[in-house]
Structure 1
Amino acid sequence: MKVNQAEFIISAVAPSQYPDDGLSEIALAGRSNVGKSSLINRLLNRKSLARTSQRPGKTQTLNYYKINDAFYFVDVPGYGYAKVSKSEKQAWAKMLETFFTTSKQLKAVVQIVDLRHPPSKEDIQMYHYLKYFDRPTIVVATKADKISKGKYEKHKKVIKTDLQMDKEDAIILFSSQSGYGKDQLWRAINSYI
């Protein structure tokens, strides 16, 4: 996809703040520090539209980015490592559940995992959570540049097995550094918008 325009629109925590223009939404979910912001920036050909951080748990709201005036990326808070209080985590969980269960514009979720490691228990929970709510899911395994291409299939198999992935769900290898997998991911996203 040719991205001519991409802009940050709003940080939302409740449905009353979600954009109400009827545009399709693609959510991006992943463990804290998995490279979600880097993936967004690479897809949109921007250096720092989505803020990257050395500190896991930086995203604490639903961040809406409008693409080509046609649809939104919705960056959701990372799960797992974030060093936040239990009450904050509970607030995030409620915010995410509300979003995943009530957004009428949400067409698919890009779930981001780290290719180098087996999925965490939080990754597995998130995948099954999305399946429970019948949300189409595109699994993206980032940091593909960190392992040799000869090991790609072995690592993909571990992810598919551990997540117990549905056959119809795509798994795409991706590198924010090199752009590997970018076109394939755009094709998968386009099939939902």
Structure 2
Amino acid sequence: MKTIRKIFITGLLALIPIVVTISVIIWIFNMVDSIFRVPLEKIIGFRIIGIGFILTIIIIFGTGIFATNYLGKEFIQLIEKTLSRIPLVNTLYLSIKQLIDTLFMKQRYAFKHTVLVEYPSKGIFTIGFVTADAPKEISEKTGEKMKSIFIPTTPNPTSGMFIMIRDKEIISLNISVETALKLVVSGGILLPEQKQMK
């Protein structure tokens, strides 16, 4: 049963990002097709098969080009700030954004490496990610070299706890951030390959 469950969960985790991506593309396609197909056919005088698909691809690429330049980034940040100030809408938007960020492992770029720490109490070990050295004042006040650690939660690693811990109490792991995130998301089901732990 454990093997069957592991295979099922692995398949589910593999399918989720694919299904979500395809569903979003189909939704955009249907919306674009319903808005632009009829007016365009009237203008050109004949029907073009796949016009909705072509327009969807153009819109996605156009948005990508716009979002990668300075003006586009500023515009998107403005929209995000506006949405984050609207009650209910901000909760929905942030939840969707966190889900997408998690699925595409965007957070891995913010973490330096994977570690093991005793948290929340002695004898209990948990996966964490080093984000930076702790602020100088913290190290001076404690008299110890400290590190800032992000402790992710299961199944949504974008939420979690921020802790500062003594450098000597941190156990470094030879597990990539992406692999560790998959381990957290799956609740320990998706184990790292042995070659990654050497």
Question: TM-score, length-normalised on structure 2?
Answer: 0.25
Q: Which has the larger helix fraction?
A: 2
Larger radius of gyration: 2
